[in-house]
Structure 1
Amino acid sequence: MIESWVINGDSPVPVSSEVVLEALRSRIDSGQLETWLASSSGRSLAFVTNAERAMVMLLEDEGDPGEHAVDPGAHGLSGDFVLCNGQEDEYPDEDTVPIGEAFRLVKQIIGTGSWPADSRWAVDR
């Protein structure tokens, strides 16, 4: 079975790897900095950004602590990660990636179901 993904709270029409980045950019432009995607196999993909860096998390099912993209060697903290409920988060830069890298990761996961071979992530399970 080929896994398909939809953006939670948007259209029930699946998004492809070719259009997911356009959808994310549009959401960011409208001030929606937190996006959750749900797969047909029950997995979830979270994308939370401050428009410079992003937290990208992949969860196998509800309640799974999952895994997230990391930027080893990055130093400092970044803030202004605004969640849908209005909460504003701050994350260590090593637990987020530059937004261009985040877009690449999301596109790969939507297209293939897995992280790019050259990416780095931490398992939180």
Structure 2
Amino acid sequence: MSETWMVVGSQGALVSSEAALEVLRVRVDGGLFETWFASSAGRSLGFVTNNQRALVMLLDGEGGPGEYAVESGAPGSSEGFVLSNGQHDTYPNEDTVPIGEAFAIVSHIIGRGSWPSDARWVADR
């Protein structure tokens, strides 16, 4: 059986890679800038955006090590990353990616279970 994904907090409906992108767009357009997906394999995929850049995290399990997308050498930092608990965060740009790239990464991970071959990411192990 292949890994399946659902939006955390949803009614358990499974999402395809295409549906996940639509979920992200609707949530961001509605002012919800943090979204988590849970997989049948126990992994979590997090997406937090400020509408220009996004932090994309893939975690092995609750409390487990994870990986996140990076843009190595990107200068500066960006603010406006609003978490679901109301916290406003600022991240170094090198620890985030442009939002279009983030959408592609999320779609690929949900569709294929792995990072895209052209994505750059760092492991927190």
Give the C-alpha shift of residue 11 in structure 1: 3.0
Query: Structure 2 length as normaliser, TM-score?
Result: 0.98
Cα distance in 2 for partners of 1:71, 1:65 equals 20
Task: Map residues 1-125 of structure 1 onto 2, 5 A cutoff.
Answer: 1-125=1-125
**Residue type at the aligned position of 1:62:** E
**Residue type at the aligned position of 1:27:** R
Cα distance in 1 for partners of 2:13, 2:70 equals 30
Report the 3-state secondary structure (helix = DSSP H, G, I; strand = E; otherwise coil) of the residue aligned with 2:116: coil
Cα RMSD (Å) of the superposition?
0.7
Report the 3-state secondary structure (helix = DSSP H, G, I; strand = E; otherwise coil) of the residue aligned with 2:45: strand
**Residue type at the aligned position of 2:69:** A
| Residue segments in structure 1 that go unaligned for 5+ positions in a row | none
**Deviations for 1:30-68, whole angstroms, at most 9, x for unmatched residues?**
111000000001000000000000000000011113000
Provide runs of 4+ in structure 1 moved above 6 Å: none
Report the 3-state secondary structure (helix = DSSP H, G, I; strand = E; otherwise coil) of the residue aligned with 1:19: helix
Cα distance in 1 for partners of 2:11, 2:33 equals 17
**Deviations for 1:89-123, whole angstroms, at most 9, x for unmatched residues?**
00000000000000000000000000001110000
Report the 3-state secondary structure (helix = DSSP H, G, I; strand = E; otherwise coil) of the residue aligned with 2:26: helix
Cα distance in 2 for partners of 1:18, 1:57 equals 19
Cα distance in 2 for partners of 1:85, 1:17 equals 26
**Residue type at the aligned position of 1:114:** S
| Bigger shift: residues 54-63 or 10-19 | 10-19
Give the C-alpha shift of residue 26 in structure 1: 0.1
Report the 3-state secondary structure (helix = DSSP H, G, I; strand = E; otherwise coil) of the residue aligned with 2:64: coil
Cα distance in 1 for partners of 2:34, 2:80 equals 11
**Residue type at the aligned position of 1:39:** S
Query: Structure 1 length as normaliser, TM-score?
Result: 0.98
